[in-house]
Homo-oligomer: A and B are copies of this chain.
Amino acid sequence: MNNYADRLLEAVNKKGNPCIVGLDPRLGGMPRFAISKGGAPEESVRSSIFEYHKCIIDAVHDLVPGVKLQSAFYEQYGIGGIAAMQDTIKYSKENGMVVIIDAKRGDIASTAEAYANAFLGESEVMGERAPVFDVDCITVSPYLGMDSIEPFIRACMKYGKGIFVLVKTSNPGSSDIQNAKMADGRELYARVAEMINSYSEKLVGERYGYSSVGAVVGATFPEEARRIRKMLPRSIFLVPGYGSQGGTAADAAECFNEDGLGAVVNASRSVTYSLSSPELERKDAMAEIREKARLMIADVNSALERKAGGDKK
């Protein structure tokens, strides 16, 4: 399938849930078995992060449709961290997972094109074009306007990739700008949603009828989620804020359409960086992560069932 929305929803269907697991490295929160000391710092950072992320992917790849990598957490560890990001992307794909990079990039057209090349497309190096980080989908910030999003749209069309544009984010301060009241009575996020909608038609998948131009809508703002859901019927929502940030499964359920599709829900820390002890062995760490992923899946799926029941009443 060469349409990202179709690929993502096919994976959701196959796994029977819309849960995404976050892979956001925190060296201080890793089990000891993964930490490799000695050697060059760059190499030991790279191999420690990758060792633990392999453990996470081994634990959940048959349960959930995809993973989300938060770029900042890799960048904070410099070259070694970014190399571990590359390793983690590759291993996730080898294990059949959809890979989303949460990088919130946004820049003027020629620069946005460089970002699109880096994450979705190809760059020309010494006369040859080749993929770089090559994920399935990237989060994009809309502050610079439509011409900053178009290079990503072109890359989506050319390479069968997707984007999630920030509409209403999960943090408390998101209201400062996103809920700014406009002259037409709406809030700013509504203008962003409108902008996205104008693109979404171009990238609708034949199989599921959803667009590869999606939106980030936090689980922490269910009221806004309901409104945005109506404004963007064909967009898939990436829903952060479930778990550690306080959003419940019922809140996240507001991001779905009545067909039970239309969103994926992410949890990072609460599933992958909350082991009971740093002394756990690999198989015990795997078992804990797997159990937490199962709990999240059960929680989200039952909220969706309750919502479907309620919608029918």
Contacts and interface: CB of A to CB of B under 8 A. Distances in A.
Contacts of A126: 27, 35, 37, 41, 44-45
A144 B171 contact: yes
Interface in A281-307: none
A252 B177 CA distance: 27
Contact of A106 (B104, B108, B124, B191): B104
A274 interface: no
**This chain: copies in complex:** 2
A207 interface: no
Given A76-B114, A183-B183, A191-B180, A170 B123 contact: no
A108 to B, nearest CB: 4
A181 B183 contact: yes
B45 A125 contact: yes
Contacts of A107: 70, 72, 104
Given A76-B123, A104-B105, A171-B145, A176 B195 contact: yes
Interface in A98-147: 104-109, 111-112, 114-115, 117-119, 123-126, 132-133, 141-147
A111 to B, nearest CB: 5
Contact of A77 (B28, B86, B125, B176): B125
Nearest to A240: B108
A1 interface: no
Question: Number of contact residues on A: which range applies?
Answer: 35 or more
A278 to B, nearest CB: 13
A72 B111 contact: yes
A228 interface: no
11 contacts: A27-B125, A70-B111, A73-B114, A77-B125, A78-B86, A78-B123, A108-B171, A109-B171, A177-B188, A177-B192, A188-B188
